[in-house]
Structure 1
């Protein structure tokens, strides 16, 4: 599992929206240095995941809908990455020739343990803590958020 450019861009888009202001993709893209064609694609994934709302029209834009304290790095990785395993042999559809020949694979078992620990750890890292390690801004509230402040 590697944090890809797409995941990095998703975090940047959410960081731009942390102030709870309605912003269009051009503003977000310019502010966060995310190529516009990626920003459009990623924002749609973030909307489907329920992290942002996209309002269409001349006065539209994007708005954060979830509290950044409640979104983990693992949440973003799961939304952005089709394959979030550290190696392809952990994918359920992977057909391991070694396992097929010998009926077991110690390497697979060891890597599965690493994957489990890494996934569990990433699920403890909240986006707010990544974006604002020293406290940062405390906007009022994202609509639909479960806390009084971000």
Structure 2
């Protein structure tokens, strides 16, 4: 699985805001912190606010802050909200032009893998991204 930069920026922004609990940060401050486009970060933050993860504060000291407790924000939920791109062409809402259908079983295999990936992300909250004591199982990254 590969997440879009939009989702990556969204997750990073949420983690930063969770780390700075109660603070209001502007899109520019968040973008500058990560060295990314301010315009792109503003779009990400708008999407997160529309989904109820952030509260927007207007005015000179405006910006965004978390709308929910970090322990109540599941990583899988955020990824589903931000990363709505089909995994492969045959997952597209418009249908597939794949010449291998209906005999190809790859789509079902990929769908199961994607569901497993999301189930694993659902195990973790935004708070888990910050807690050093959060014990994660060891991974074999030799592949």
Which range, TM-score by smaller chain? 0.7 to 0.9
The verdict on how the C-alpha distance between 1:128 and 1:41 changes in structure 2, with shifts beyond 3 A counting, is same
SS for the counterpart of 1:63 is strand
TM-score normalised by structure 2 residue count: 0.78
RMSD: 2.1
Q: Cα deviations across residues 61-96 of structure 1 (Å, max 9, x unaligned)?
A: 21111122222222222222231x432323343223
Runs of 4+ in structure 1 off by over 4 angstroms are none
CA deviation string 1:45-73 (max 9, x = no partner):
01001000111121322111112222222
Q: Which runs of 5 or more structure 2 residues have no equivalent in the other structure?
A: 135-143
Point out where structure 1 has 5 or more consecutive residues left out of the alignment: 137-150
Give 2:89's aligned residue.
88
1:47 is matched with 49
The question of 1:15 aligning with 2:15 is answered yes
Provide the rounded CA distance (Å) in 1 between the counterparts of 2:94 and 2:118.
19
Helix, strand or coil: the match of 1:13?
A: helix
Aligned residue in 2 for 1:116: 115
| More displaced 10-residue stretch of structure 1: 49-58 or 12-21 | 12-21
**Residue 5 of structure 1: CA displacement?**
1.4
Instruction: Please report the TM-score for the alignment, with normalisation by the length of structure 1.
Output: 0.74
How far apart in 1 are the matches of 2:64 and 2:111?
38
Q: How many residues align?
A: 131
Distance 1:127 1:88, change over 3 A: farther
